[in-house]
């Protein structure tokens, strides 16, 4: 990695290989899972600062305290970058697993794809899955979280997000995983929040919240209440 840290990476070709591949990486014991979804597009500097504080003061410390792991998209951008940097900032040791299409990232000793994305350097593990388009990882991301949890509690946190995040939320629902949409973070998260309160005409959003698996997390609440809310889903 660019910061001198090392990470384990596995390449998986089919869902049937996933359990064995993760077991070989040491993921044998059940543990709570926090799934990070979304982005940070079109957010103000004030909201971005508050969001970084949420990762540093709530999410990363809680995951570390609970012996949980985090699963996300693994690239050096937005919320994936924030959780990676928060992990290092608090000197945490929790497993941080990025799930990324192999056709979208630069790998050692290989010619890079045309539209390459950097891997976030503070992650501990990467699962490289088949695909050359963003969104190919959506079902894999949900499945990786399920396989690692092994029946332990899990919850997804959606920050901001666009159309790919909409697919991520749908896949979380298929896995029967609650999604906490961060109200006030913009785009999809706010669309789902509005739909949950009957204030939106987005039919897709209405379908997602009709499952009962979308709840609201307002990151403008105090951090103690946010910690307790997320903890209630992971314990």
What helix, strand, coil percent values describe the chain, rounded to 5?
45, 20, 40
Backbone phi, psi, residue 142, to 5°: -65, -40
Give the pTM.
Answer: 0.94
Give the mean pLDDT per block of 10 residues along the chain (235 residues).
72 94 94 95 88 95 98 95 97 97 79 76 96 95 98 97 95 97 94 91 90 91 92 96
Question: HEC string of 21-72?
Answer: HHHHCCCCCCCCEEEEEECCCCCCHHHHHHHHHHHHHHHHHHHHHHCCEEEE
100 contacts 128 by C-beta, under 8 angstroms: yes
Question: What stretches of the chain adopt beta strand conformation (E)?
Answer: 8-11, 33-38, 69-72, 96-101, 125-129, 154-159, 179-183, 214-218
Distance of alpha carbon 214 from alpha carbon 178, whole angstroms? 6
CATH of 8-234, one of 3.40.50.80, 3.40.47.10, 3.40.50.1950, 3.40.50.450: 3.40.50.450
pLDDT at 26: 93
């Amino acid at each position: 990695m660019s910061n001198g840290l090392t990470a384990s990476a596995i390449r998986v070709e089919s869902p049937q290989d996933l359990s064995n591949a993760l077991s070989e990486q040491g993921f044998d014991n059940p543990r709570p899972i926090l799934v990070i979804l979304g982005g940070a597009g079109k957010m103000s500097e004030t909201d971005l600062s508050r969001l970084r504080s949420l990762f540093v003061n709530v999410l990363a410390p809680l995951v570390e305290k609970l012996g949980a792991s985090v699963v996300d998209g693994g690239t050096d951008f937005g919320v994936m970058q924030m959780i990676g940097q928060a992990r290092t900032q608090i000197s945490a040791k929790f497993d941080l697993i990025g799930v990324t299409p192999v056709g979208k990232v630069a790998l050692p000793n290989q010619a890079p794809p045309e539209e390459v994305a950097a891997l976030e350097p503070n992650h501990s593990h990467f699962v490289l899955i088949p695909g050359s388009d963003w969104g190919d990882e959506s079902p894999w991301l949900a499945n990786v979280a399920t396989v690692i949890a092994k029946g332990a509690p899990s919850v997804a946190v959606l920050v901001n997000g666009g159309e790919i995040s909409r697919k991520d939320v749908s896949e979380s629902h298929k896995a029967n995983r609650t999604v906490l949409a961060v109200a006030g973070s913009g785009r999809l998260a706010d669309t789902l929040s509005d739909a949950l309160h009957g204030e939106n005409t987005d039919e897709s959003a209405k379908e997602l919240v009709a499952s009962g698996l979308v709840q609201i997390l307002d990151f403008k609440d105090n951090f103690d209440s946010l910690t307790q809310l997320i903890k209630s889903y992971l314990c």
